[in-house]
Amino acid sequence: MNISAVIITKNEERNIERCLKSLQNIVDEIVVVDSFSTDHTKEICEKYHARFFQQEWLGYGEQKNYANSLSTHDVILSIDADEALSSELQQSVFQLKATEQQDFVCQISRLTNYCGKWIHHCGWYPDKKIRIFNKKRAKWTGAIHETLSYPDEDVLIPLKGDLLHYSYYSIEEHISLINQYTALFAIENFEKKKNISLVMLVLKSVWKFIRDYFFKAGFLDGYYGFVICNLSAVTTFLKYVKLKQLYND
């Protein structure tokens, strides 16, 4: 089996080299579709002999589908620029290549690094993702949080090892992305004519913290576990506050 690693980028010079290094001698080609970065993303990708293309932003789902269409091989390893294969996951992918099966998808556990700390709770781990699939049988959908659609009869193969996710380097960066995401969420749901009551808005936000910090053991991740659970509750609050604001306007 030959595997194409597919990555979409925009100004990822901080992360992309770590990602590319983890793919060396594991996959058969690397395809990068870049949204016209203004940093050194292109030069780094060329250093690792990636096939580099540029495309204006189409939304997460469509951008990834376009990138998949450029791959030479049907089996795709979809990976983000801020992710990397752990050594155990590298071995799992390498062993997968010895099979000839085509009607399958592979599930991978993602472990997130937050401000330098690996987060094992807070509802963040194991963050199971389908990341290896046959592009002829699967397609990405969704403009904000993309999901992979594939036939129900496809075999689900869990792989050993973690996909290492270097998410946020600072709390300020996390807050900035929360603001962007919640605005997009509000617009998307407003267009779908979805709304929520004030009571449910409050209950959802409070429950989000209680669930992640206590029931999902966020407290075991120490200070950053507390920060993450609080910001997750704030994210829930802001999503629906911004949605209600659109209705009020």
Residue 101 pLDDT class (50, 70, 90 cuts): confident
Token duo for residue 50: 């990636």
Percent of the chain clearing pLDDT 90 (strictly above): 95
CA dihedral 43, 48, 51, 52 (to 10 degrees): -20
Kindly report, residue by residue over 36-51, the tens digit of the pLDDT.
999 999 999 999 999 9
Per-residue pLDDT at 62 exceeds 70: yes
Q: Start-end ranges of CATH 3.90.550.10 in the chain?
A: 3-168
Mean pLDDT of 98-125: 95
The beta-strand segments (E) located in the chain are 3-9, 29-34, 51-54, 75-78, 83-85, 104-114, 117-119, 127-134, 139-141, 147-149, 155-168
Confidence label for 208 from pLDDT (cuts 50, 70 and 90): very high
CATH of range 3-168; options 3.90.550.10, 3.40.50.620, 3.20.20.70, 3.30.470.10:
3.90.550.10
For residue 143, the model assigns a pLDDT of: 67
Count of beta carbons in the 10 Å neighbourhood of residue 10: 15
For residues 169 and 156, give the distance between their C-alpha atoms in angstroms, rounded to a whole number.
33
| Proportion of the chain above pLDDT 70, given as a percent | 100
Task: Determine the pLDDT at residue 9.
Answer: 98
The C-alpha angle 31, 168, 118, rounded to 5 degrees, equals 100
Average pLDDT over residues 86-111: 94
Residue 61 has pLDDT above 70, yes or no: yes
Tracing tokens 């990068």 back to the chain, one arrives at 32
pLDDT in tens, 127-151: 999 999 999 999 999 867 789 999 9
State the chain's mean pLDDT as an integer. 96
Q: How confident is the model at residue 102 (pLDDT cuts 50, 70, 90)?
A: confident
Given a cut of 70, is residue 163 above it in pLDDT? yes
Amino acid at 197: S
